[in-house]
Amino acid sequence: MSNTASNMCLSGEAALRRMGNRKWKNKRFYKNNQHMERKGFQEGTQPRRPFSQDQTLCHNGACTEPPQPAYAQSKSLPHPSSALHCSSRSSAATLNQHSWTPTVNSEGGHNKPKEPVSPKSSAANPGPSGSSCHKPAATSETIPTKYLAMDCEMVGAGPKGHISQLARCSLVSFDGDIVYDKFINPPMPVTDYRTRWSGIRKRDLVMATPYSEARKEILRMLMGKVVIGHAVHNDFKVLGYSHPAALTRDTSRIPLLNLKAGFAEHECASLKRLTKAIFNRDIQTGKKGHSSVEDARATMELYKVVAEEWERTLASKL
């Protein structure tokens, strides 16, 4: 055999040997591959699905979706670290649930969140309870509805108008608001309107309230109230009424007020002088006469100047 033929035989045997080794390796690799597929995973690759996602399992006419492989189900489960992270978020969210809650209106927008409610605020401001026995001090500022200032304007009846008759009455509250103000038709014929002082004219009494009716209205409002007036005994006299002394405050007989105005302690100063001296304000000016509303308000303001001291003095005498 020539060298060329021997070389060809050697090369053919080598080629067959190499081919056999390759088949053996492929067969071993194939067996290993089948073994890995039975276990459900293969390193670096995904296991072969027995059928495609588009296929369905049909049995007796009923079709169901194919079962998901293990690796696909594992994707839906959170990683342990992420689960811990989410749980911490949820716990923080539950802790802050009472802080504020956004409300959604019908138009889909969000209203302004409510302010956080602190549990201490409800404890600091408890509602009224039966055990609470604290009552506010009974001062002129806490019970202003108990106080009324009154002023009346009179006209004259009888010979030369010497008999005083009620023609107007005004009542104002502690804050100076008008509570009652009416012209009153006296029971006796008027002989002197005293317009220079009273401000009353004949036309004012044409449609005025009858005296008997007005008297009932006024006395009903004075009942149980602290009545403040300047020389208020004259107003009670024209009404034919006597108010309890404990509920009467006459600003013409307050020594404290005279001292603040710079007058003698027991001097009976007029309302006009006291108002000018204490407030530097003029009242009862002009030719139209007095206004009972203006006088009643001035009386209430004068009372407020000495209310605390005066009430304390009256309380000490009881």
From 214, 173, 263, select the one nearest 272 (Cα to Cα): 263
Residue 61's pLDDT is 46
CATH code of the domain containing 306: 3.30.420.10
Whole-angstrom distance, CA of residue 247 vs CA of residue 229 = 11
- The Cα–Cα gap between 19 and 26 comes to 10
- What pLDDT shows up at residue 131? 34
pLDDT of residue 37: 57
Please say if the pLDDT value at position 254 is more than 50.
yes
- pLDDT confidence of 31, banded at 50, 70, 90? low
Report yes or no on 55 lying in a domain: no
Domain that residue 169 falls in = 144-316
Average pLDDT of the segment spanning 42-46:
46
pLDDT score recorded for residue 145: 79
- Residue 50 within any structural domain of the chain: no
Q: Does residue 149 lie within any of the structural domains?
A: yes
Higher pLDDT, 40 or 229: 229
Is residue 242 included in any domain, yes or no?
yes
- Examine residue 112 and state whether it is found in any structural domain, yes or no: no
Asked which of 86-90, 158-162, 211-215, 281-285 is least confident by mean pLDDT, the reply is 86-90
Q: Would 132 be classed as within a structural domain?
A: no
Q: Which tens digit of pLDDT belongs to each residue from 236-248?
A: 999 999 999 999 9
Number of domains in the chain: 1
In a domain, 205, yes or no: yes
Note whether residue 224 is domain-resident. yes
Q: Is 250 helix (H, G, I), strand (E, B) or coil?
A: strand
Q: What is the pLDDT of residue 74?
A: 42
Q: What does pLDDT average to over the chain?
A: 73
Cβ neighbours of residue 63 closer than 8 Å, sequence gap 6 or more? 56, 57
